[in-house]
Amino acid sequence: MKASNAIPRFLVVMTLFAALIFTGAIANALTSGETYTITVQKIDSDGTLNSNTSSDSATADSDGKVSFSLSGIPDNSSCNFLLITIKDSNDNTVRRSISPCPNSGESLPVGVSSLTNSQTEALLAALESAGTDDPILAVFGFVVVRSTSATSSELIFMADLVNQGINNSGGFIDYLTSNGVTSTQIATYKSSIVSRLADNSSGYSKFIKDSVDASTDAEKLNARGEAASKLLLVLVEAATTAGFSQDRVLEAFNGMGAIVVPLMDTGVTNGDISSATSKMIDSSIGGGIQKLKADKDIEKYSTALTTLGASGDDVTNYQSAANTLLNTMVSAFQAFEQVFNGSETESEIQAVQTTFEATMQTAFEKFMTDTAASDSRVSTMVSNINAEAPSAVSAADFKFYTSNGSQVNWPVTMAVIVDWVSSISANGGGMTYTPDNTTIPSNMTWLGTCSVSGNYDKSSCLGASGDWTPGRTDFESQGIPTSYASIFAIQEDIMILEFVRWGSQESAGNDMSAQETLEKSFSDSVAALSNNIGGTTDGSTAISSTLKSAVITLLKSPQF
């Protein structure tokens, strides 16, 4: 849906040098020739506005552009956020925006628009109510407020909703601290979030500035969509700077959801927010987390490929497929953003959400096809294995089915593992694996043995009046050399854990607390499989924990 041609916009660019220079452009918002006042205030650590201000006046030219200069703007060594206020000659506030305090010595692009005005209303209420300038709260505020259609009362409700999800018992922060993240790490984490938001080349502020500075409504919304697609990534990547696992942040989203989802449902019932606003929140958070998981998995795969010595076409092909996936996901966010024109309905949001999900699913399926190893690549793997044990495997052993029922070759990520095993075997080393003891789910009916030969699944076994005994596959008994049999055994154990997880997800339903628990259990269980790997790279040097983790990562299915 096309956005209104009357979307106001304002651009401020902050540059921190000896003198601070702000330059701006305004279109469709200010009156040419009229003088406006631009004021900047620091938001204090208790969430209230600092009484000290920096301000200047500027006159809009015939193109709606202004230029002005200010001094004394603090950087993020002394604050987290600034409030920018634009007032007309009658002292009426035209627009407001909350901006991260800039990194020391860096310019900071800032956009002020009708959307940032709505976000600011919600964020100021949330920060003051919580008594904090918490950047985690600010990020979620940016995420959930995607439209100018929300009323003032809805914005206040949303602010409280986000605050409770972050700070209540069992919420975002509580989950992190309950899982080993220290108070010092939390402080570093929050500082990193502000710095990443303020990054003048790839931060959130830059994309909001682009959305304000764009020539057409569609371009504005595209830039906003790209900004939205990157917001939650800030929360995850900041964990690395703070020294704790990014997986803990992904899991903490479930803890937050366990609080927010029932409160939001109750809010709709009680009339605190409309169904359309609830749908906006749900779709924005859900889509953001989905893209976030893809970002993180691709990053992990890329690192693991390098760890196991992948090079040449393998890396090139994988990165090409990954870039296609991520670019398609950004485009999906841009298309999704088009619906938020200030008068969107629940049915319109649902329609664009359905399209969004279909686009994502198609992109994932294409990714799986694009990352499949070529037939010649598979042929090389078969030759390497059969060189040690003639006719142990065939090309058919390196295929799997996609969700649409088509059969494709193993992904290149798994092919790299086979090559790595071949290389350490040629060097006098080898890999071993002790199978996991997780109980095989009952719906994995193809794992086991039948008392009547020739029946390789439970159904056919029982049909032949045989006794079916569930169990893991003994790949070595099939003539596959130990090192290569270990690959198949690890993959089988990962599949078992995935099936356990899927069954648990179905049982948990909308119980976000249960979902949080099972996600951590799955993550920890898969990671622990690396402890079952043994062997050497050359007959004497033990396979390192880094190499073991890389093997596990590349054998795990994408979790998006």
**C-alpha separations of 265 from 59, 153, 281 in Å:** 47, 16, 11
* Surface-to-core class of residue 267, CB atoms within 10 Å of its CB (0-12 exposed, 13-18 middle, 19+ buried): buried
* Surface-to-core class of residue 168, CB atoms within 10 Å of its CB (0-12 exposed, 13-18 middle, 19+ buried): middle
Of 111, 114, 87, 88, residue with least CA distance to 99:
111
Scanning 14-66, the segments in alpha helix (DSSP H) are none
Beta pairing class for 9-15 and 107-113: antiparallel
Of 197, 230, 217, residue with least CA distance to 102:
197
What is the C-alpha separation between 112 and 24, in angstroms, rounded? 10
How many other C-beta atoms lie within 10 A of the C-beta of residue 320?
13
Euclidean distance between the first and final Cα of the chain, in Å?
28
How many other C-beta atoms lie within 10 A of the C-beta of residue 142?
24
- Domain assignment present for residue 452? The answer is no
For residues 383 and 262, membership in a common domain is answered with no
pLDDT of residue 403: 57
For residues 348 and 380, membership in a common domain is answered with no
Sign, Cα dihedral of 216, 217, 219, 224 = positive
**pTM (two decimals):** 0.73
- Domain assignment present for residue 449? The answer is no
Here the tokens at position 345 are 């309905």
Confidence of residue 9 (pLDDT cuts 50, 70, 90): very low
Out of 318, 340, 365, pick the residue that ends a domain: 365
Give me the percent of the chain exceeding a pLDDT of 90. Answer: 27
For residues 264 and 379, membership in a common domain is answered with no
- Domain assignment present for residue 161? The answer is yes
For residues 313 and 385, membership in a common domain is answered with no
Out of 309, 331, 365, pick the residue that ends a domain: 365
- Domain assignment present for residue 69? The answer is yes
pLDDT of residue 534: 97
For residues 353 and 495, membership in a common domain is answered with no
- Domain assignment present for residue 402? The answer is yes
Out of 317, 341, 365, pick the residue that ends a domain: 365
DSSP-based three-state secondary structure for 24: strand
CB 433 within 8 A of CB 441: no
pLDDT tens readout for residues 173-199: 999 999 999 999 999 999 999 999 888
Domain count, the chain: 2
449 backbone dihedrals φ, ψ, rounded to 5°: -130, 155
Structural domain boundaries enclosing 231: 9-365
What is the C-alpha separation between 196 and 194, in angstroms, rounded? 5
For residues 411 and 310, membership in a common domain is answered with no
Say which residue the tokens 């950004």 belong to.
330
Scanning 464-560, the segments in alpha helix (DSSP H) are 482-508, 512-528, 545-555
Q: CA angle, corner 521, sides to 356 and 264, nearest 5?
A: 45
pLDDT of residue 533: 98
What is the C-alpha separation between 207 and 204, in angstroms, rounded? 5
For residues 134 and 234, membership in a common domain is answered with yes
For residues 332 and 377, membership in a common domain is answered with no
- Domain assignment present for residue 441? The answer is no
How many other C-beta atoms lie within 10 A of the C-beta of residue 552?
22
pLDDT tens readout for residues 392-412: 888 888 887 665 667 788 888
For residues 47 and 62, membership in a common domain is answered with yes
DSSP code per residue over 71-120: -----TTT-SEEEEEEE-TTS-EEEEEEEEPPPTT-EEEEEEEHHHHHHH
- Domain assignment present for residue 1? The answer is no
pLDDT tops 70 at residue 232: yes
Average pLDDT over residues 525-541: 96
Angle between helices 275-307 and 246-270 (to 10 degrees): 170
- Domain assignment present for residue 398? The answer is yes
For residues 376 and 361, membership in a common domain is answered with no
For residues 274 and 353, membership in a common domain is answered with yes
pLDDT tens readout for residues 95-140: 888 889 988 887 777 777 777 777 788 888 888 888 889 999 888 8
DSSP state of 19: S
For residues 315 and 398, membership in a common domain is answered with no
pLDDT tens readout for residues 59-83: 877 766 666 666 667 889 999 999 9
CB 309 within 8 A of CB 289: no
* Surface-to-core class of residue 38, CB atoms within 10 Å of its CB (0-12 exposed, 13-18 middle, 19+ buried): buried
Chain Cα centroid distance, residue 131: 28
What is the C-alpha separation between 322 and 325, in angstroms, rounded? 5
Cα Rg for the chain, rounded, in angstroms? Answer: 27
